[in-house]
Amino acid sequence: MISLEKSGLPLYLNEKNHVMALSALLEYESYKRKYVEDMKGLLEDEKKLNPKEPFYDVYRGIDYPHDRERFRTYEIRYDVTVIMPGTVNGECKKTSGHYHGWNPQKTKTYAEVYEVLLGTALYVLQKSRNIGATGQVSDTVVDDLILVIVHAGQTLIVPPGYGHASVNVGDGPMVFSNLAYIPCPVLYDTVRYFHGMGCYVNKDAEGLHLKRNENYAGLPRVKYATVREDAELGIRFGVPVYKSFQKQPELFRFLAQPEQYSDEVMSLLDYHDSLSEAIGKGGIS
């Protein structure tokens, strides 16, 4: 068993089947596994697929019973996702990708917190100003496309306005936790309509290869970024997000109020000239 100690919780991953075990003190609401067949319509090359090959697992609503009231008060949920190792027709395994719905004022969409617990993540972020505005997914225009490299122990805040998908670029399983605002609507249609996010991430013996998804018209140039911490938003690398929330849940109010924190969240992205520069000296684990 691999201890997912970066979570600060008694979570363990079975090295063989990549199923997660929780200590009896922790509880979770639901578990769901996605297979290759569930990802049809989102993969770059779907010519030959093994439909029952596991893709990723989601454990929703993990908490200690004594923290439940705190999560309920702030309407926040803590989930863990395990993306399986390996590629499908050369493409790294990934989550399906989605956009978030709007705040009540319809000025911003909700943010989300992603903390990498094991492996290396590449998050595809794509901004669409008009998401959901016309009610027509075909009208979606991607204004900004950012690939963010996040190493184990680091945390990304997905900025308001950005659709997002998580990609496992390492050789083993990639595990991340998220803090999500429960009332936030999750919109899958746009990403499915365009057959995935704006960029596919492939991997071979030479390394990672990016491929633009030409189903989107007028896709902007891809940007590369890493993440910065921000103690005022409860994000300190090496300090588990669960623990930060336990101690100071009020710091995470930006999840419910994206309109006030949008600029601050954007400033946590640190841009680089290339993907290899974003990956850095440590490489991919």
* Shortest CB 156 distance to Fe ion, Å: 11
* Shortest CB 131 distance to Fe ion, Å: 13
The residue among 28, 26, 39, 5 whose CA lies nearest residue 175 is 5
What per-residue string of b and e applies to 112-144 under the rule 16 or more CB within 10 Å gives b?
bbbbbbbbbbbbbbbbbeebbeeeebeebebeb
* Encoded amino acid at 135, one letter: G
| Residue that the structure tokens 């990016």 belong to | 210
The residue among 181, 34, 167, 59 whose CA lies nearest residue 112 is 181
Kindly tell me which of 91 and 112 has the beta carbon lying closer to Fe ion: 112
* Shortest CB 35 distance to Fe ion, Å: 21
With CB atoms as reference, the residue minimizing the distance to Fe ion is: 112
The phi and psi torsions of 122 (rounded to 5 degrees) equal: -120, 120
d(C-alpha 76, C-alpha 180), whole Å: 6
Kindly tell me which of 160 and 173 has the beta carbon lying closer to Fe ion: 160
Kindly tell me which of 5 and 79 has the beta carbon lying closer to Fe ion: 79
Point out which span in 22-30, 108-116, 187-195, 213-221 binds Fe ion (CB under 5 A). 108-116
Kindly tell me which of 175 and 279 has the beta carbon lying closer to Fe ion: 175
Residue 281's contacts (CB-CB under 8 Å, 6 or more residues apart) are: none
d(C-alpha 96, C-alpha 55), whole Å: 10
Kindly tell me which of 179 and 225 has the beta carbon lying closer to Fe ion: 179
Point out which span in 106-114, 132-140, 225-233, 238-246 binds Fe ion (CB under 5 A). 106-114
* Shortest CB 112 distance to Fe ion, Å: 5
Point out which span in 13-21, 104-112, 116-124, 242-250 binds Fe ion (CB under 5 A). 104-112
Task: Tell which one of 91, 112, 115, 230 touches Fe ion (CB under 5 A).
Answer: 112
* Encoded amino acid at 284, one letter: I
d(C-alpha 199, C-alpha 193), whole Å: 14
Kindly tell me which of 12 and 193 has the beta carbon lying closer to Fe ion: 193
- Angstrom CA distances, 267 to 4, 33, 117, 278, 285, stand at 29, 34, 23, 16, 26
* Shortest CB 2 distance to Fe ion, Å: 25
Kindly tell me which of 180 and 208 has the beta carbon lying closer to Fe ion: 180
Point out which span in 75-83, 111-119, 198-206, 229-237 binds Fe ion (CB under 5 A). 111-119
* Shortest CB 163 distance to Fe ion, Å: 8
Site for Fe ion in 179-238 (CB under 5 A): none
The residue among 17, 181, 167, 183 whose CA lies nearest residue 91 is 167
63 belongs to the binding site for Fe ion (CB under 5 A) = no
Q: Tally the C-alpha atoms within 13 A of residue 114's C-alpha that lie toward its C-beta.
A: 30
What is the size of the binding site for Fe ion (CB under 5 A)?
1
Q: Which residues bind Fe ion (CB under 5 A)?
A: 112
